[in-house]
C-alpha cells in the first residue's frame, strides 16, 4: 500500500517586472504552508540582486523559516550563472550556517520554447546541468549530508538519474521531481506557453513510472513527486492519480501560473484533503524526512 504523503509548496510567484517577495513575506508564506501540512518548501529570491545580496536574502529567509520550523525541508532557486557552481554559490554559505536542508539540481539540458510577437514558436531558452556537473553536485550533497531534489523535465533526464542510482547512488532523502508541462507561462500573466516535456496526464505519469520500474534491475527505490508547471495541479487528473500511485505532490502559486485563486496554504490544505480521500496520511518535519529516507 502507498505510504505517507509529503506535500511540497512552491510559494514564490514568478512574474517579470512584478515586485519580488521580501524575506518577511517568504517566511510568512512558508509558515502558513507548513502549518497547513507542507513537508517541503521551495522559494525564490529577488533576481535583481547582486550575488552577495542574493545570498544574504536566501540566508535570512532560511533562518527565518527554520527558527519556527527547524525540521522542515527547505530549498531555494538558483543564482544567475551558466555553470553549476555559479548557480549554486549560495549553497556553501547556507551549509556553513547550518541552514541547508535540501537543494535542487536539474541533471540534463532542457529546451524551453516560447512564442514570438507573431505567435510563432521560434524562441528558445536552454537550461540545466551537463551530467558531469550534476555528478559534482551529487558528490557535494554526500559530503555535507544533504539530500537533493532532482528535477526531471524530459524523459532522458530520468534515464540518467536511474543509471546513476544503479551505479553510484544518492544521499538518503533525495527525491525525483517529475515536472509536467502545463499550458501557461509561469513568468508572464495570462500567457500561453509551449513549456517542455510530457503533459500533465495520468498516461504521461505512467511513462515515467514504467521507466522507474523497468530501466534498471530491480527498479528504482527513489521517492518521487509530481509537479504540473504552468497549470493548476489540483484541478488536473494528475493530482489524484499521482497520490493513488504512491507519489508525493507539489503545489503552489509558482507552478499554478495564475490558474488558481487559492493561496499557497489553501493549495496545501486542498492537497492534504485529496491525500486523505485516497487513504494516505500527510507527514511533515522529521516524519517527512524519515519517509523520504526509507
Per residue in 54-77, pLDDT tens?
A: 999 999 999 999 999 999 999 999
Residue 244 sits at the vertex; the CA angle it makes with 240 and 250, to the nearest 5 degrees, is 55
What is d(CA 267, CA 227) in angstroms, rounded to the nearest whole number?
Answer: 13
- Centre a 10 Å sphere on the Cβ of residue 139 and count the other Cβ atoms it contains: 11
Residue 8's beta-bridge partner residues?
A: 40, 250
Average of per-residue pLDDT across 43-59: 94
Residue 188 confidence (pLDDT): 84
Expressed in angstroms, the distance from the first to the final Cα of the chain is 15
From the candidate CATH numbers 3.40.50.720, 3.20.20.70, 3.30.70.1400, 3.40.50.300, the one assigned to the domain spanning 7-293:
3.20.20.70
Prediction pTM value:
0.96
Residue 20 confidence (pLDDT): 79
Tallying the residues shown for the chain, one arrives at 294
What is d(CA 1, CA 209) in angstroms, rounded to the nearest whole number?
Answer: 16
Residue 271 confidence (pLDDT): 98
Whether the CB-CB separation of 39 and 72 falls below 8 Å is answered with yes
What is d(CA 167, CA 176) in angstroms, rounded to the nearest whole number?
Answer: 17
The x, y and z cell numbers of residue 85, run together, are 557552481
Residue 179 main-chain phi, psi, to 5 deg: -85, 130
Average of per-residue pLDDT across 262-274: 98
pLDDT for 16 beyond 80: no
Residue 123 main-chain phi, psi, to 5 deg: -85, 140
pLDDT for 1 beyond 90: no
Residue 228's beta-bridge partner residues?
A: 180
Please name which of 98, 20, 68, 28 lies closest in space to residue 254, comparing C-alpha atoms.
20
Where do we find the cell 535540501?
102
The x, y and z cell numbers of residue 112, run together, are 524551453
| Tens-place pLDDT, residues 228-259 | 999 999 999 999 999 999 999 999 999 999 99
Alpha-helix residue ranges (DSSP H) falling in 101-217: 131-144, 155-167, 202-214
Please name which of 254, 202, 223 lies closest in space to residue 149, comparing C-alpha atoms.
223
Residue 7's beta-bridge partner residues?
A: 38, 249
Residue 117 confidence (pLDDT): 87
Please name which of 44, 54, 47, 48 lies closest in space to residue 11, comparing C-alpha atoms.
44
Hey, is 11 helix, strand or coil? coil
Helix (H) or strand (E) holding 78: none
Residue 135 confidence (pLDDT): 98
What is d(CA 159, CA 67) in angstroms, rounded to the nearest whole number?
Answer: 38
Q: What is the dihedral of CA 150, 33, 261, 271, to 10 degrees?
A: 70
| Tens-place pLDDT, residues 181-210 | 999 988 888 888 899 999 999 999 999 999
Residue 14 confidence (pLDDT): 79
Residue 47 confidence (pLDDT): 87
Residue 251 confidence (pLDDT): 98
Amino acid at each position: 500500500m502507498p505510504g505517507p504523503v509529503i506535500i511540497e509548496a512552491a510559494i514564490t510567484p514568478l512574474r517579470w517586472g512584478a515586485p519580488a517577495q521580501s524575506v518577511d513575506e517568504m517566511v510568512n508564506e512558508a509558515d502558513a504552508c507548513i502549518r497547513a501540512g507542507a513537508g517541503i518548501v521551495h522559494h525564490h529570491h529577488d533576481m535583481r540582486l547582486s550575488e552577495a545580496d542574493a545570498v544574504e536574502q536566501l540566508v535570512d529567509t532560511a533562518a527565518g523559516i527554520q527558527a519556527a520550523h527547524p525540521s522542515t525541508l527547505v530549498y531555494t532557486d538558483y543564482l544567475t550563472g551558466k555553470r553549476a557552481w555559479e548557480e549554486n554559490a549560495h549553497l556553501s554559505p547556507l551549509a556553513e550556517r547550518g541552514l541547508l536542508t535540501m537543494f535542487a539540481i536539474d541533471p540534463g539540458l532542457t529546451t524551453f520554447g516560447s512564442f514570438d510577437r507573431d505567435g510563432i514558436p521560434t524562441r528558445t531558452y536552454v537550461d540545466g546541468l551537463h551530467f558531469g556537473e550534476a555528478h559534482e553536485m551529487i558528490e557535494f550533497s554526500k559530503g555535507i549530508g544533504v539530500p537533493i531534489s532532482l528535477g526531471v523535465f524530459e524523459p532522458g533526464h530520468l534515464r540518467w538519474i536511474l543509471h546513476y542510482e544503479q551505479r553510484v547512488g544518492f544521499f538518503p532523502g533525495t527525491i525525483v521531481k517529475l515536472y509536467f508541462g502545463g499550458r501557461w507561462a509561469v513568468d508572464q500573466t495570462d500567457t500561453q506557453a509551449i513549456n517542455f516535456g510530457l503533459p500533465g496526464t495520468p498516461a504521461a505519469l505512467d511513462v515515467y513510472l514504467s521507466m522507474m520500474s523497468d530501466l534498471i534491475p530491480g527498479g528504482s527505490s527513489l521517492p518521487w513527486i509530481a509537479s504540473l508547471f504552468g497549470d493548476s495541479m489540483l484541478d488536473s487528473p494528475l493530482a489524484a492519480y499521482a497520490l493513488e500511485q504512491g507519489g508525493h505532490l507539489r503545489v503552489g502559486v509558482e507552478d499554478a501560473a495564475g490558474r488558481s485563486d487559492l493561496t499557497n496554504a489553501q493549495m496545501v490544505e486542498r492537497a492534504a484533503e485529496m491525500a486523505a480521500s485516497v487513504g494516505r496520511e500527510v507527514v511533515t518535519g522529521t516524519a517527512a524526512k524519515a519517509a523520504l529516507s526509507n
